[in-house]
Amino acid sequence: MKWQPVIPVMLVLCIMVLSETYAAGPVIVCIQCHATLTAKLSQPVELWQTSIHAEHGITCNVCHGGDSTDSAQAMSPAKGFRGVPAPTAVPALCGGCHMGVAGHYTNSAHGRALGRGGPTCVTCHGSHDIKSATLDLIGSRNCSKCHTFEKARLIRSAMLKRDTMLMVIEKKIRMLKSQGIETDQMEKRLFALRNRFHAMFHSLDIKLIIMESDHIQAEIEKTNGVGGKDTGPLAGIIAVGWALLLALLFYLIKRNVD
Amino acid sequence: MINIFRHIYYWIDVRLGTHEIINEKRTGYLLPRNVNAWYSLGSVLLVIFALQIITGLLLMLYYVPNVDKAFTSVSFIMNEIPLGRLIRLFHAVGSSMMILVLLLHMLSVLFMGSYKSPRELHWLTGFILFLMAMGISLTGYLLPWNQLSFWATTVATDCVSAIPAVGRYLVELLRGGKLVGSHTLGRFYTLHVGLLPATITILIGIHLFLIQRTGVSTPPFGLEDTTNSWKNGKFIYEEHPGGIPFFPNFFLQDMISISLYMACFMALVFFFPNLFIPSTSYMPANPLVTPAHIKPEWYFLANYQTLKLFPSEIIGIIVQVLAMTFLALLPFIDRSPEKHPLKRPLFTFTAITCILLWIGLTGWGFYS
């Protein structure tokens, strides 16, 4: 028996032993059923599996209601099943969790046009393949569905520098984490900062975005300094140099003694 | 100031005769004239072992050998304790360096024929020390309770199950249960901080005692007669009249080698710490998620790859046990008096082939 075949066997054994814990985990009956249905009805499952919601364990019932653990009650109105929400209900539905964004959206031109052809959350973020909020969503592909890209371009440009900085911090966190450096505090700050920054876009108020971007910039700089107790190369250079110097010193003494 | 030290020295000397010890045992302790820097690797290893003990004791102040707390305690040491990160890296990188220097020490002994009579026991104790060092590294590997250590230990201990009849009982004995868990951590911790360091210390003592009793072997380089002068029949201490005094001459060579080792070691710790510690080492152990590539430490990669080469794991294990037994008993098998590597081509060719094979298998294991 080689090493590799052992791994799945051990995994199965682990699962058997930990079956109680495993069974207590969320079983999503919606997925079990829909995955076997026709293309139209199974496609949402495939799309959801690629989404940021799936990544964070946000399952079907969070948006559609019902009981995702019981096949019989999965689509029961008594269990809060609401099916496909009406387009005008989407912002309120998403705003149930994304409260900061909802506030900005409601007061924006987008929010005021709700029910009159204005965009809802799913217009840009998708309904099942829900995409993470990045600047890639602000582009002519999405914006040009309703109007020209010109104003959105200004907002995007104003946000680009800070968003790039946030991405740099994220990369730094990943790097620090791979070196065993505690990054919890830094991650939490980054998460809050990015949410605040991305939520602000939904106001569509370019003056507010530019003004807030300056505040965000200061916060980013603070966050960048959190965590990562790196001794830097100086300590290493001193340590290595000191050892080499000692070697040279002993060599010179030895030459003298020999 | 110097006077104070002189007074202290004389105070001790008249009570313990330290001057006599230094004079007879160190300055009067002569080494062969053609002794070389390879002979100082033993001292380097002593320093490495001492550093491992010191850093290990410091880590024990904060490490918690409990599956729920082991990972966080290591993370706490690395992030919250002053110099904790450095101490942990010293210990982790030091274990790999210990194996590397041990291998170099063994290779120098092999190629200079220093294992030959009457030094069979020196080789044997050294070989057992090497196995103990591998054991202490393996047991220490599990202690941080991260993804890599958990799964590598799961796979490594599972190899024992290939032994016919008793294999699965041995696995349970090692793990303290059917799976790697809290009992395994307890057992490995006890072995790592108690039994193995004590055994290694005793073996080092025996190894040094043997060297002291027989005298240092003469290297085969720069001499006309490179054969082993020892004759079976009675005990003879190998003296080196007109040789180099251990103190201060060879002591200074030891210090040069130790300083150079420390320079390399510090460079690794400060600039390339992740060479021996992959990023999966910083993820807590999760019995339900198997990492994509489970690889043992670099010094087990050749064994790991050998196991994969054979159709049956038991054949792979038998081949490795036979190879290790042959190496352990080499002084009893190779009885030729010649010590110079160029004058024993069969040995040199075989040794180089084996080294290349080991390097090849290690590389293959790494990239497979």
Contacts of B249 in chain A (CB under 8 A): 254, 257-258
Determine, for residues B288 and A177 on separate chains, whether the beta-carbon distance falls below 8 Å.
Answer: no
Q: Taking all residues of chain A, what is their mean pLDDT, rounded to a whole number?
A: 80
State CA B89 to chain mean position distance: 18
User: A16 to chain B nearest CA, in Å?
Assistant: 10
ipTM for the whole complex: 0.89
pLDDT at B220 over 70: yes
Average pLDDT of span B266-286: 88
Using the Cβ of B155 and the Cβ atoms of chain A, whether some distance falls under 8 Å is answered with yes
Q: List domains and CATH numbers for chain B.
A: 40-219+245-272+291-300 (1.20.810.10)
Q: Which residues contact B238 (CB under 8 A, 6 or more apart)?
A: B214, B215, B216, B217, B218, B229, B230
pLDDT at A228 over 50: no
- How far apart CA B136 and CA B113 sit, in angstroms, is 28
**How sure is the predictor about A11, in pLDDT bands with cuts at 50, 70 and 90?**
very low
Q: Which residues contact B78 (CB under 8 A, 6 or more apart)?
A: A180, A181, A182, B84, B85, B88
Contacts of A13 in chain B (CB under 8 A): 178-179
Q: What percent of chain B has pLDDT over 70?
A: 99
Average pLDDT of span A163-176: 84
Average pLDDT of span B198-219: 96
Q: Which of A181-185, B60-64, B278-282 has the highest mean pLDDT?
A: B60-64
Cis peptide leading into B248, omega within 30 of 0?
yes
**Total residues belonging to chain A:** 258
Average pLDDT of span A140-155: 85
pLDDT of amino acid B163: 87
Determine, for residues B248 and A251 on separate chains, whether the beta-carbon distance falls below 8 Å.
Answer: no
User: Considering CB atoms only, which of A1, A15, A253 is closest to B162?
Assistant: A1
The packing angle between helices B41-60 and B196-214, to 10°, is 160
User: Considering CB atoms only, which of A18, A181, A239 is closest to B270?
Assistant: A239
Q: pLDDT by residue (tens digit) across B306-320?
A: 988 998 888 999 999
Determine, for residues B248 and A240 on separate chains, whether the beta-carbon distance falls below 8 Å.
Answer: no
Tell me whether residue B141 is exposed, middle or buried, using C-beta atoms within 10 angstroms of its C-beta: 0 to 12, 13 to 18, 19 or more: buried
More confident residue, B53 or A214: B53
User: Considering CB atoms only, which of B259, B270, B307 is closest to A2?
Assistant: B307
Other Cβ atoms less than 10 A from the Cβ of B311: the count is 8
pLDDT at A223 over 70: no
pLDDT at A26 over 90: no
pLDDT at A227 over 60: no
pLDDT of amino acid B292: 75
Q: pLDDT by residue (tens digit) across B84-123?
A: 999 999 999 999 999 999 999 999 999 999 999 999 999 9
A-proximal residues of B, 160-179, CB under 8 Å: 162, 178-179
- How far apart CA B40 and CA B258 sit, in angstroms, is 8
For residue B348, report the phi and psi dihedrals to the nearest 5 degrees. Answer: -60, -45
Q: What percent of chain B has pLDDT over 90?
A: 74
Contacts of A181 in chain B (CB under 8 A): 78-79, 85
Determine, for residues A180 and B162 on separate chains, whether the beta-carbon distance falls below 8 Å.
Answer: no
- Chain pair A-B, CB pairs under 8 angstroms: 113
**What type of residue sits at position A197?**
F
pLDDT of amino acid A225: 58
**How sure is the predictor about A226, in pLDDT bands with cuts at 50, 70 and 90?**
low
Using the Cβ of B269 and the Cβ atoms of chain A, whether some distance falls under 8 Å is answered with yes
For residue A168, report the phi and psi dihedrals to the nearest 5 degrees. Answer: -65, -40
The SS3 call for residue A248 is: helix
Other Cβ atoms less than 10 A from the Cβ of A175: the count is 13
Query: Between vectors from CA B103 to CA B102 and to CA B104, what angle results, nearest 5°?
Result: 90
User: A8 to chain B nearest CA, in Å?
Assistant: 8
Q: Which of A5-19, B120-134, B223-237 has the highest mean pLDDT?
A: B120-134
- Indicate the range of A74-78, B207-211, B345-349 predicted with least confidence: A74-78
- How far apart CA B141 and CA B135 sit, in angstroms, is 10
B interface mutation test: which of A9, A249, A250, A255 has the most B CBs within 10 A? A250
pLDDT at B127 over 90: yes
Tokens of B79: 């992030």
Average pLDDT of span B267-294: 85
**How sure is the predictor about A231, in pLDDT bands with cuts at 50, 70 and 90?**
low
Handedness of CA B211, B212, B217, B222 (dihedral sign): positive
pLDDT at A65 over 50: yes
User: A24 to chain B nearest CA, in Å?
Assistant: 14
User: A55 to chain B nearest CA, in Å?
Assistant: 16
Using the Cβ of B246 and the Cβ atoms of chain A, whether some distance falls under 8 Å is answered with no
- How far apart CA B157 and CA B262 sit, in angstroms, is 33
Q: pLDDT by residue (tens digit) across B315-346?
A: 999 999 999 999 999 999 999 999 999 999 99
Determine, for residues B259 and A258 on separate chains, whether the beta-carbon distance falls below 8 Å.
Answer: no
Q: Which residues in A have their CB inside 8 Å of a CB on B?
A: 1-4, 6-8, 10-11, 13-15, 17-18, 22, 177-182, 229, 231, 233, 235-237, 239-240, 243-244, 246-247, 250-251, 253-254, 257-258
pLDDT at B25 over 80: no
Other Cβ atoms less than 10 A from the Cβ of B250: the count is 23
The CA-based diameter of chain A, rounded to the nearest angstrom, is: 96
- How far apart CA B41 and CA A212 sit, in angstroms, is 63
Residue indicated by tokens 């569905």: A145
Determine, for residues A236 and B267 on separate chains, whether the beta-carbon distance falls below 8 Å.
Answer: yes
Determine, for residues A233 and B279 on separate chains, whether the beta-carbon distance falls below 8 Å.
Answer: no
pLDDT at B76 over 90: yes
Q: pLDDT by residue (tens digit) across B244-262?
A: 999 889 999 999 999 999 9
Find, in chain A, the residue whose alpha carbon is nearest to that of B291.
A7
Contacts of B79 in chain A (CB under 8 A): 180-182, 229
User: Considering CB atoms only, which of B282, B308, B312 is closest to A177?
Assistant: B282
User: Considering CB atoms only, which of B80, B256, B290 is closest to A254?
Assistant: B256
Using the Cβ of B26 and the Cβ atoms of chain A, whether some distance falls under 8 Å is answered with no
User: B331 to chain A nearest CA, in Å?
Assistant: 33
Tell me whether residue A161 is exposed, middle or buried, using C-beta atoms within 10 angstroms of its C-beta: 0 to 12, 13 to 18, 19 or more: exposed
For the CA atoms of chain A, what is the radius of gyration? Answer: 27
Average pLDDT of span A220-245: 77
**How sure is the predictor about B277, in pLDDT bands with cuts at 50, 70 and 90?**
confident
- How far apart CA A7 and CA A111 sit, in angstroms, is 53
Q: Taking all residues of chain B, what is their mean pLDDT, rounded to a whole number?
A: 93
Q: pLDDT by residue (tens digit) across A29-50?
A: 888 788 778 888 888 888 898 8
Distances (CA, A) of B363 to B88, B148, B299, B300, B356: 27, 19, 11, 11, 10
pLDDT at A230 over 60: no
Find, in chain B, the residue whose alpha carbon is nearest to that of A229.
B79
Distances (CA, A) of A172 to A125, A195, A225, A227: 27, 18, 11, 10
For residue A233, report the phi and psi dihedrals to the nearest 5 degrees. Answer: -75, -15
Using the Cβ of B75 and the Cβ atoms of chain A, whether some distance falls under 8 Å is answered with yes
Contacts of A226 in chain B (CB under 8 A): none
User: B193 to chain A nearest CA, in Å?
Assistant: 23
Q: pLDDT by residue (tens digit) across A97-134?
A: 888 888 889 888 899 999 888 899 998 898 898 887 78
Contacts of B253 in chain A (CB under 8 A): 254
pLDDT of amino acid A19: 36
pLDDT of amino acid B3: 84
pLDDT at A4 over 80: no
- Indicate the range of A10-14, A95-99, B153-157 predicted with least confidence: A10-14
Using the Cβ of B263 and the Cβ atoms of chain A, whether some distance falls under 8 Å is answered with yes
